A = this chain, B = another copy of it.
């Protein structure tokens, strides 16, 4: 059994698992369904993962890790002003929601199914991601671009963004960047 997501085989299995978890939900996805989707028998699954819980943790870790990486990259590449940074974060967030959609849906819906140890480990990743947001929002507040309670504003923004997985259809006319721009426009000062 492998320790991390290093093995390419395991990475592929994780991707397949994410898809099934989205379709059926974690509890309703049986190890036999997972194995069939992966083209192996159910027993062989436990060569790659210690138990079913570990598959869930692997899925969520993969998604959160990518989101963090993309957000950091976006912050490096964007302009220095608060509005550029805010927009960059929103765009990066929505873009991961597209490319790693399955993993993120699982993270949002099945977080509570994680056992305490896995949750503790993954909480750090998530906290690091949310810290980026708070930093950007603090800067926007300081610059007067937005105003209000920093705690509430960041929670509202995260809510609006995460909720998109429920209704956003990438085949529709709107691009992720459209959504990001609209959200930023909604919460920033609107010059009459």
Q: Which residues of A contact B (CB under 8 A)?
A: 25, 27-28, 109, 112-113, 146-149, 152-153, 155-164, 166-167, 174, 179, 182-183, 185-187, 189-190, 192
Q: Which residues of B contact A185 (CB under 8 A)?
A: 147-148
Knowing that A158-B163, A159-B160 are A-B contacts, what are 7 other residue pairs whose CB atoms are under 8 Å apart, sorted by A's residue number?
A: A27-B28, A146-B186, A155-B163, A156-B182, A159-B166, A189-B190, A189-B192
B164 touches A159 (CB 8 A): yes
B182 touches A152 (CB 8 A): yes
Q: Which residues of B contact A113 (CB under 8 A)?
A: 25
In the bound complex, how far is the Cα of B174 from the Cα of A183, in angstroms? 25
In the bound complex, how far is the Cα of B187 from the Cα of A27, in angstroms? 38
Instruction: Determine which of B149, B182, B186 lies in contact with A182 in the assembled complex, contact meaning CB atoms within 8 Å.
Output: B149
A26 to chain B, nearest CB (A): 8
In the bound complex, how far is the Cα of B186 from the Cα of A185, in angstroms? 11
A–B pairs, 25, beta carbons within 8 Å: A25-B27, A27-B27, A109-B109, A146-B186, A149-B182, A152-B174, A152-B179, A152-B182, A153-B182, A153-B186, A155-B160, A155-B167, A156-B160, A156-B163, A156-B182, A156-B183, A156-B186, A157-B160, A158-B163, A159-B159, A159-B161, A159-B164, A159-B166, A186-B187, A187-B187
